[in-house]
Amino acid sequence: MRPFLLLPGLLLAMLPAARADEGMWLFTKPPVRQVKEKYGFEITPAWLEHLQKSSVRFGSGGSGSFVSANGLILTNHHVGSGMIEKLSTKDRDLLKHGFYAATAGEELKCPDLELNVLMSIEDVTERVNAAVKDGQSPDEAATARRAVIAGIEKESFDATGFRSDVVTLFQGGAYHLYRYHRYTDVRLVFAPDAKAAAFGGDPDNFEFPRFCLDCCFFRAYENDAPAKTPHFLKWKTEGAKEGELVFTSGHPGRTNRSVTLAQLEALRDDGFPYRLEQIFRAETLLRAWADRDLENARRSKGSIVGTQNGRKAIMARLDGLLDPALMARKAASETKLREAAPAAFARIEAAEKDANAYQTRLRLLETGDAFGKGGLFSTARTLLRAADEASKPEGERLKEYREPARASLELDLFSTEPIYKNLETLRLANSLTFLCAKLGAADPTVQGILAGKSPDTRAAELIQGTTLEDIAVRRKLYEGGRDAIAASNDPLIQLAKLIDAESRKLRQRGEATEEVISQAHREIATARFARDGDSAYPDATFSLRLSYGVVKGYTDGKETVPAQTTFWGMHERSEAQGAIPPFDLSEEWKAEASKLDPLTPMNFISTNDITGGNSGSPVVNRDGDLVGLIFDSNAPGLVSDFFYSDEKGRAVSVHPAAIQAAMEKVYHADRVLKELTH
């Protein structure tokens, strides 16, 4: 099914030139030589800086780019849909009908969206590593590392006002300080209806040919006015030709290419199966709940889509890891590194084994899988910990409670996003039942959490009893600090208190394991740099990366998959499926469809090396003009989590011509269109 996985590892090792368009490159270490050699194009510092400062990171987990001097931002509909859902109500469903601000005044402020634009990068590896002394226990080392990183971030934040994050690269081989311009006033400008944006829904997700208008526009504001953004990408309606060199600039979330075989085995036997178990539960229960009632369906749409996306991505990756040929290739590829640093490999293996003993508890209690992760319980815990951490020196705090993170924390904590108690109850009941399944009903912590009730009853009682959905209550508790928290009888605050000691201990244990692993990877990275020279790029870390490639179809068995689709193909696919959801089109679309040129390019594929988090990344040509909008990988591309291959793996983008045509003919979004193409 994925023949490239069956290639013996050595074959690729023998053909380094065949590494093709691999790499998610740091902007500080771009693939200048590679691109020059293969495509004859010179990446210059000015070209790079313009692209960097035109690129936007979405705090909600995606990418985007400025496309006008007045802060207009293009991203995927599926990156923006969380916000679009939060801006919707029962009577104004912006996912269903789309949104267009016909005037500037109608642009809709998002309740809790943070955007970051990368301003500078500084290598702080020496300083970070200097803080960790030989002979320290993992716990001591982790504490020392946390403290020095906190110091660096605070110092940078105080000096520049920029959001300042120390990013761990090469699994611990290097530490870079990233400084971001932060935007917290972001407004929705335009979104197509969800049927056009996500045509084919889950069934066609990670497939190609594909027909999605997966785009939307936001605008960054400062001081209640559109932000001035001199760096922005020029719109190029014609897009790129087949075979043309294109770049993406975005924020790939996480890859596992430089981890060791032992780490992949842990993912295969524990990490992915655990996560899938959770996803299967969540998807089933959310869909069942949505099916009961139309308003339920509206409230849970985004959660269902997100869950389904995760399920497909992880299943494809797990099947890759369960392929003994791929694992053999991995083993072969690390032979040399293993010879250079055998002790480091052994320490990682031991650390993974050790982690097995507490990993499930850590995920349940600290990550919050037992409490409907991200729901009202997490608000309760944030309030509890914000109060506790405030009394500690900066360097000893948990990182999300440090001063430089305050703006992000408060944006989230005081979000006006609607909270639906029935959905919260469903989530919490599901999570508590999952907790019982994983730890057993006889576990003392479980018994404490359930307080003598069944999971369903306990969840209903907790959600009915809490008042944390009220922003004023949250604010009062936040401002009241430890005294207010101590006095609170909110049942979720009390639950957070009940488990906090155990939960913090688990986190500490996890961080000590991470320290052992990153120290080992530091040794491995040295061997890697020696072996790979300037071909080395770090695994994805949700920080800005450059990738390059060409627009290109591929062959699947006997079938040729062309590089590009059209509106016509979309209507064909819809008909073939009897136009049942998610292959139906909105009333808005059907009313105007005849005005669209059926041969307008809609989606296209390229060999760029991307992964989750790259959604919304601009695709640019040699001139730095915007010629596409990344929104997906195809299924064969998903194993690139571990190995890049351009045999069938492709990045999937929306073509600018499709966005422009739909905005003009279907949605009549003239004001934005003018700004875009002026």
Residue with smaller CB distance to its own copies, 248 or 431: 431
CB of 584 to its own copies, least distance (A): 12
The answer to whether residue 357 forms part of the interface with its own copies (CB under 8 A) is no
Find the part of the chain contacting its own copies (CB under 8 A) among 128-136, 434-442, 485-493, 599-607: 434-442
Does residue 287 belong to the site contacting its own copies (CB under 8 A)?
yes
Does residue 324 touch its own copies according to CB under 8 A?
Answer: yes
Mask of contacts with its own copies, 582-621, x by CB under 8 A?
x---------------------------------------
Min dist CB 390 to its own copies, Å, is 37
CA 189 to chain centre: 22
User: Other CB atoms closer than 10 Å to residue 637's CB: what's the count?
Assistant: 26
Residue positions counted in the chain:
678
- Taking CB under 8 A as the criterion, the residue among 375, 455, 612, 649 binding its own copies is 455
Cβ proximity to its own copies: between 2 and 474 the closer is 2
Q: Does 572 bind its own copies (CB under 8 A)?
A: no
> Could you report how far apart the first and last alpha carbons of the chain are, in Å?
47
Q: 604 CB contacts (<8 Å, ≥6 apart)? A: 239, 240, 551, 563, 564, 565, 628, 652, 653, 655
Piece in contact with its own copies (CB under 8 A), picked from 355-363, 432-440, 539-547, 654-662 = 432-440
Block residue for tokens 């634009």: 117
343 binds its own copies (CB under 8 A): no
Instruction: Tell me the β-bridge partners of 178.
Output: 121, 165
Q: For residues 407 and 428, what is the distance between their CA atoms, to the nearest angstrom?
A: 28
CA dihedral 30, 33, 35, 36 (to 10 degrees): 140
Q: Closest by alpha carbon to 53, among 232, 234, 179?
A: 232
Choose the stretch contacting its own copies; rule: CB under 8 A; options: 44-52, 252-260, 435-443, 484-492: 435-443
Residue 444 CB, shortest distance to its own copies, in Å, is 13
Residue 294 touches its own copies, criterion: CB under 8 A: yes
Measured between alpha carbons, how far is 252 from 505 in angstroms, rounded to an integer? 30
Among 17, 343, 442, 501, binds its own copies (CB under 8 A): 442
Residue span binding its own copies (CB under 8 A) among the ranges 59-67, 102-110, 264-272, 345-353: 264-272
Told to check if 203 binds its own copies by CB under 8 A, we report: yes
Peptide bond into 16 cis (omega under 30): no
Beta bridge partners of 601: 566
**DSSP label at residue 363:** I
| Phi-psi map region of 481: left, alpha, beta (phi>0 left; psi -120 to 50 alpha) | left
Q: How many residues sit close enough to its own copies to count as binding (CB under 8 A)?
A: 55
201 or 395: whose CB is closer to its own copies? 201
539's tokens: 């695994």
Phi, psi of 255 (to 5 degrees): -130, 170
User: Cα-flanking dihedrals φ and ψ of residue 442, to 5°?
Assistant: -85, -10
122 or 443: CB nearest its own copies: 443
Instruction: Choose, by CB under 8 A, the member of 140, 269, 349, 592 that binds its own copies.
Output: 269
Tell me: does residue 454 bind its own copies (CB under 8 A): yes
Q: Is residue 280 close enough to count as binding its own copies by CB under 8 A?
A: yes
Asked if 577 touches its own copies (CB under 8 A), the answer is: yes
Rounded to 5 degrees, what angle do the CA atoms 409, 411, 413 make?
65
CB of 372 to its own copies, least distance (A): 16
Give the C-alpha separation, 292 to 288, whole Å.
7
Choose between 307 and 543: whose C-beta lies nearer to its own copies: 307
Applying CB under 8 A, the residues found at the interface with its own copies are 1, 5, 201-204, 265, 268-269, 273, 276-277, 279-281, 283-284, 287-288, 291-294, 308, 311-312, 315, 318-326, 433, 436-437, 440-442, 447, 450, 452-457, 460, 577-578, 580, 582
